[in-house]
Structure 1
């Protein structure tokens, strides 16, 4: 990988990691479901006018939009609003790689190798340690919401694998159009019109900047740059940089939000990141009879390609 490409990969990981801190700030301006709806609205418009028509069937766009946009991000923002720290959220969300592998095994018949199974066990051990640590310092209900968000992300990864979008940026922009109305409806029902209107009326430059960051910088730039790197390098070369996301997430939260990082949390981070590395980067066992469709030039076969592509939305 050229030095400029390497720096771009690190920049994308930093953008995605810092995004958790930005989301934490945004939750001080907006109710969580309204914030998520605004994020997708800003990500879709005007980008949807620039990326061209969808390149996959609408059933996949709608399915991923509902699971990733409504379920995953709704649960993530609710969990963070309920007290889940930004840095810890950036770490725990990476358990999506384990959920992806498990769901792919059940749905796609992609049996994990021993290395991948070991990685899942190590990552789960990291999450368990993080849960014990959080249980002494914060609400476990919020922790559970973020774990549920990771599970939904795993489902969306498998759906994306089935959709096999030829242009990840085009796909993500069109996916962003789907959650806007459902999230707005849920926000009106659960958060209330008065609270939503009050947040919109109180919109200031910081609130607007937060929405633009999570929409344009995190989604449009981050996902576009990640897809650009994947078209030029093997996924096995690009994927390890996604493991820097929780590093930047925890560091930025500690620096800008003053979130403490306890020794058990650092141990949990080491276990989870190491386990995710084994789970995501170990080549899956080939399927008999039907075989697996190769994700692209130099990419590993199986769900790893979908995981690598969708890791960009880890914030996100």
Structure 2
């Protein structure tokens, strides 16, 4: 889970680098042109799924790959690093809500307190990340709206994919839904390329390779494995560490200064995580002695 937090935490600053010369739809398509062949190769020999599963897998790909990732690209383009980080940090909360509704996983009061405390820590981390007025001025209402759409879509995608992989296997579901999402993106990316100036630089290429290989393929497989190993609230809460790595990386790449509030925010996040993943169990009656 810690490794996944690092991999995914670097995704927003790296996406910002890629979007400097490539527009959002084209950039997302390039990312999945890298990821889909890898997923298909990993799933070779295990790609057969029942016919009844096809509509759900296609819908999953359109929801998570097309809507979720395209919305995130537009959102990252239209928000500052601080605001984008804060909005993307709502993904774990949506994951816990969807898991409670769809999977029936219980969430105790202390878990909610931990999740909200961790979210407050994210706010402190973002404010203490050193972004100036010039950076904040890049944030638009549309950008924030796109980030929220992305957060909801990605959270639902994670929970729904866990349901489908339990039925049909991790690799077949991951490969086919990524392919479905890519097919849905390609026509939109072609229209954007014809009407928007762009330049495929070395920087754009290596960012799409990182996002395709590490974030999409390795990250998705890690996430699906984690969801099958621990409750969604535990998996989701650990994701609050992602913005810590993301803002730290942004400070190194874009020169933001990290102040004392950043350190305080990290501390609050860790306390929140401790509450969110706590699992107090009653002592069995047969172990209680007079």
Report if TM-score (shorter chain) is over 0.5.
Answer: yes
The match for 1:19 among 11, 17, 36 is 11
Residue 98 (structure 1) aligned to one of 86, 93, 96: 93
Unmatched runs of 5 consecutive residues or more in structure 2: 282-290
Is the Cα–Cα contact under 8 Å of residues 115 and 278 in structure 1 kept in the other structure?
yes
1:202-221 matched pairs, under 5 angstroms: 202-221=199-218
The residue number in structure 2 matching 1:184 is 186
* 1:78–1:145 CA contact under 8 A, matched in 2: yes
Q: Distance in 1 between matches of 2:274 and 2:146?
A: 23
**Between Structure 1 and Structure 2, how many residues are aligned?**
267
Within the alignment, does 1:79 sit opposite 2:75 as a pair?
yes
Partner of 1:158 in structure 2? 159
For 1:115-130, list aligned pairs within 5 A.
Answer: 115-123=110-118, 125-126=120-121
Aligned to 1:51: 43
Q: 1:60 aligns with which of 56, 60, 64?
A: 56
The separation in 2 between residues aligned to 1:241 and 1:215, in whole angstroms, is 22
1:69 aligns with 2:65: yes
C-alpha separation in 2, matches of 1:217 and 1:277 = 27
Aligned mates of 1:34, 1:21 — CA distance in 2: 18
Which of 99, 109, 112 aligns to 1:114? It is 109
Contact 1:34–1:187 (8 Å) recurs in 2:
yes
Q: CA deviation at 1:283?
A: 5.7
Unpaired stretches in structure 1, ≥5 consecutive residues = 1-8, 286-316
Q: Is 1:175 aligned with 2:177?
A: yes
Q: Provide Cα deviations, 1:83-139, integer angstroms capped at 9, x if missing partner.
A: 331x65345423212112223334444442112222343345456768989997342
TM-superposed CA distance for 1:73, in Å, is 1.2
Cα distance in 2, alignment partners of residues 21 and 101 from structure 1: 25
Q: CA RMSD in A?
A: 3.7
Residue number in structure 2 paired with 1:258: 255
Compute the displacement of 1:81 (Å): 0.7
Give the distance between the partners of 2:181 and 2:148, measured in 1 at CA: 20
Q: Would the aligned equivalents of 2:39 and 2:174 in 1 still touch at CA under 8 Å?
A: no
Q: Which has the larger radius of gyration?
A: 2
Distance 1:221 1:192, change over 3 A: closer
Whether the 8 Å CA contact 1:168–1:227 is kept in 2: the answer is yes
- Structure 1 residue 271: Cα displacement: 4.7
Deviation at 1:251, TM superposition (A): 0.8
TM-score by length of 2: 0.73
